[in-house]
Amino acid sequence: MNIQRIEPIRPLLATESTAVSDAGQTRNQPTMFQDIFQSMVDNVKETDAAKNEAYYALATGQLDNPAVASIAATQAELSLSLLIQMRNKALDAYSELMRISL
């Protein structure tokens, strides 16, 4: 009789999830869910920094074209909006999963 081991449930919200190897040792392993949200958070940080730099250059007179600051602000706003929408969709999906009765 061949009995297969059941893998433990990995947390979604932890910075790094742990998985148990065959030898019983734990190893850190990022999840796809974590990678997606981490890249989106990094994108928000990068676009916000670019917006701040463009506004600083505009305020100090170093920026020749004021449209660059407007474009940077729009990019930062859109990346934040996308992150918020993805968070809301993930929470909706989690809520739906919690409503499933087994």
pLDDT tens per residue across span 48-81 = 999 999 999 999 999 999 999 999 999 999 999 9
Cα 81 to Cα 25, 44, 85, 95, 102, distances in angstroms: 40, 9, 6, 21, 35
Token pair listed for 94? 């989690």
Tokens 């074209």 -> residue = 65
The pLDDT tens digits for 24-34 are: 555 566 688 88
pLDDT value at residue 93: 92
Token pair listed for 23? 């030898």
Whether 8 is covered by a domain: the verdict is no
| Cβ(17)–Cβ(30) below 8 Å | yes
Q: What is the pLDDT confidence band of residue 17, given thresholds at 50, 70 and 90?
A: very low
pLDDT value at residue 19: 47
Whether 63 is covered by a domain: the verdict is yes
Whether 61 is covered by a domain: the verdict is yes
Whether 26 is covered by a domain: the verdict is no
Provide the domain count of the chain.
Answer: 1
